[in-house]
Amino acid sequence: MTALLVLGLLASASISAPPPQTWTLWAHGTHPSGVEEWQRVESAASQADCWAILPRLQLMDVDAGVMRTVVEGHRTTAYYRDGTKYVVDFTCLPGSVDPRR
């Protein structure tokens, strides 16, 4: 009788377990105009998988005014011809978190 009770508790625990947590890689920067921007980059099954996305990213559609870019860890800085710079920080957050709110 005790074995059935334990099996019943295990079965109910597995049924009510929350779904697996997903993670999202976000890009965050403040435009030279002062506007704060958040952009969802990609989702992953785990936090480790989320951070593994970062080295695979490539700069695409780089503005013609950008002279050079510097990548340091989780931060990318674009230096413009007019002397301004744009810094983007990447972060992984649980899928249920939307930093834009």
Asked, for residue 1, whether it belongs to a domain, the answer is no
CA angle 39, 41, 46 (to 5 degrees): 125
Asked, for residue 48, whether it belongs to a domain, the answer is yes
Instruction: Return the pLDDT at 41.
Output: 93
Asked, for residue 30, whether it belongs to a domain, the answer is yes
- Which structural domain range is residue 86 located in? 20-94
> Model pTM?
0.71
Instruction: Return the pLDDT at 25.
Output: 95
Asked, for residue 73, whether it belongs to a domain, the answer is yes
Give pLDDT tens digits along the chain (101 positions): 434 333 333 333 344 445 568 999 999 998 777 889 999 999 999 999 999 998 887 766 667 788 888 889 999 888 988 888 889 999 999 999 999 98
Asked if 99 and 37 count as a contact pair (C-beta separation under 8 A), the reply is: no
Structurally, the chain folds into a number of domains equal to: 1
Asked, for residue 59, whether it belongs to a domain, the answer is yes
Asked, for residue 66, whether it belongs to a domain, the answer is yes
Instruction: Return the pLDDT at 97.
Output: 94
Asked, for residue 2, whether it belongs to a domain, the answer is no
Asked if 83 and 66 count as a contact pair (C-beta separation under 8 A), the reply is: no
